[in-house]
C-alpha cells in the first residue's frame, strides 16, 4: 500500500469483515503496516465519524456512517425500486433466499436480497449484503465466471483470491484445475450450482443476468438455502423461475441507467484497450 488513501481504505475493508472490531496490532499485522501508522489512520477515521473505539485503549470498529452512506447511494440509483418486486416474487415462490449481484466495473457486488423462508432453517444474508461476491466459492461468483473466458476467469479469481477470507465450505475449489472444471460445467449448462461451497451447509444455484441489447453479463441472481432442505433436485426444479427472474431483471435494467452505467463504462474501456492492443499488434 502506498498512499494514505489506499491505507485508509484498506483499514475500512478489514474492519468491514469484523463488525466486532479489531485491535491496532491485529490490523497492522494483517495489512503489513506499522502499528503507529495504523493508529493515526484510525484516529483520523474516528474524527471523521467512520470508526470508534469500543472502550478506552480497546478495539476499533466501524460506525454505521459508511453503511448509511452506502444505503443512501443504493437507494438513489433506483436499483431497489426496479429489482425488489422481481426478487420478492421469486422468494415468495421458492420460499428460499434470493440474492442479486451486479458488476460495478471492477467487482461483483450483492445489491439485492429477498428472504422467502418464514420458518425453520434459513440463512441470514445481512453479513454479505452490499459486500463483494467471492467468485470462486459463491454460486453467483461461479455463474459470473462462466460468462468470461477461461483465462479471464482465472485472472479474476487470482486477483481476488482463490480462498474465501474467513473460510469457505468443503466443496469450494482448492486449485485452478478444479476451478476451471466448475466454470466450464456452469458455462455448458447455463447455471452454477453447488453445496457447501460458499459455506458449510449452504446450497445454491445461480444464473447470469445479461444485458438485453448486447447479451453481455451485467450481474447474477441466485437461490440459496440450507442444504438439508435445498437439495440439488429442489434447486434444479426452481431453474425455470430463476431464469425468468433473470430475464425480468435484464428488462428492468432498461428502465434506467442504474443497472447498466458501470457496464457501459467498463465496456467502453475494454473496447478502447482492445483497439490499442490491435494497434500495437499491427505495428
Over 80: is that where the pLDDT of 160 sits?
Answer: yes
Over 90: is that where the pLDDT of 16 sits?
Answer: no
CA–CA dist 92, 115 (Å, integer): 8
pLDDT of residue 78: 54
What does each C-alpha distance from 191 to 105, 186, 266 come to in angstroms?
22, 5, 24
pLDDT of residue 8: 87
Residues 216-271: tens digit of each pLDDT: 999 999 999 999 999 999 999 999 999 999 999 988 877 655 555 545 554 444 44
Over 70: is that where the pLDDT of 1 sits?
Answer: no
Residue 276 binned pLDDT confidence (cut-offs 50, 70, 90): very low
CA–CA dist 107, 208 (Å, integer): 15
pLDDT of residue 175: 96
Given a contact cutoff of 8 angstroms between Cβ atoms, the answer to whether 64 and 226 are in contact is: no
Nearest to 221 by CA among 96, 112, 106: 112
Over 90: is that where the pLDDT of 146 sits?
Answer: yes
Nearest to 112 by CA among 136, 134, 133: 133
What does each C-alpha distance from 86 to 31, 90, 222 come to in angstroms?
40, 6, 12
pLDDT of residue 70: 62
Could you name the CATH architecture of 4-63? Orthogonal Bundle (1.10)
Q: Domain spanning 69-269 has what CATH number?
A: 3.30.450.40
- Cβ-Cβ contacts under 8 Å for 225 (sequence gap 6 or more): 96, 97, 117, 121, 122, 123, 202, 203, 204
What does the domain layout of the chain look like in residue ranges? 4-63, 69-269
Given a contact cutoff of 8 angstroms between Cβ atoms, the answer to whether 231 and 219 are in contact is: no
Residues 163-221: tens digit of each pLDDT: 998 888 999 999 999 999 999 999 999 999 999 999 999 999 999 999 888 889 999 99
Given a contact cutoff of 8 angstroms between Cβ atoms, the answer to whether 182 and 198 are in contact is: no
Residues 205-219: tens digit of each pLDDT: 999 999 888 889 999
Given a contact cutoff of 8 angstroms between Cβ atoms, the answer to whether 7 and 32 are in contact is: no
Residue 282 binned pLDDT confidence (cut-offs 50, 70, 90): very low
69-269 has the same fold as 4-63: no
Amino acid at each position: 500500500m502506498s498512499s494514505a488513501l489506499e491505507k485508509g481504505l484498506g483499514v475500512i475493508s478489514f474492519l468491514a469483515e469484523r463488525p466486532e472490531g479489531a485491535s491496532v496490532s491485529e490490523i497492522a499485522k494483517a495489512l503489513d503496516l506499522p502499528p503507529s501508522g495504523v493508529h493515526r489512520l484510525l484516529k483520523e477515521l474516528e474524527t471523521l465519524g467512520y470508526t470508534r473505539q469500543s472502550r478506552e485503549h480497546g478495539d476499533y470498529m466501524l460506525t454505521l456512517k459508511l453503511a448509511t452512506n452506502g444505503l443512501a447511494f443504493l437507494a438513489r440509483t433506483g436499483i431497489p425500486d426496479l429489482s425488489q418486486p422481481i426478487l420478492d416474487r421469486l422468494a415468495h415462490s421458492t420460499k428460499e433466499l434470493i440474492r442479486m449481484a451486479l458488476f460495478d466495473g471492477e467487482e461483483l457486488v450483492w445489491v439485492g436480497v429477498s428472504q422467502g423462508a418464514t420458518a425453520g432453517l434459513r440463512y441470514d444474508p445481512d453479513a454479505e449484503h452490499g459486500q463483494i461476491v467471492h467468485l470462486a466459492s459463491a454460486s453467483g461468483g461461479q455463474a459470473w465466471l462462466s460468462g468470461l473466458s477461461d483465462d479471464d476467469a482465472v485472472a479474476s479469481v487470482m486477483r481476488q483470491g482463490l480462498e474465501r477470507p474467513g473460510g469457505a465450505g468443503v466443496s469450494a475449489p482448492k486449485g485452478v484445475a478444479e476451478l476451471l472444471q466448475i466454470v466450464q460445467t456452469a458455462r455448458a449448462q447455463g447455471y452454477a450450482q453447488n453445496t457447501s461451497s460458499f459455506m458449510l451447509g449452504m446450497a445454491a444455484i445461480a444464473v447470469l443476468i445479461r444485458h438485453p441489447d448486447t447479451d453481455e453479463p451485467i450481474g447474477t441472481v441466485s437461490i440459496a438455502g440450507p442444504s438439508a432442505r435445498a437439495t440439488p433436485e429442489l434447486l434444479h426444479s426452481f431453474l425455470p423461475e430463476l431464469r425468468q427472474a433473470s430475464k425480468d431483471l435484464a428488462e428492468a435494467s432498461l428502465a434506467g441507467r442504474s443497472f447498466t452505467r458501470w457496464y457501459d463504462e467498463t465496456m467502453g474501456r475494454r473496447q478502447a484497450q482492445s483497439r490499442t492492443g490491435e494497434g500495437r499488434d499491427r505495428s
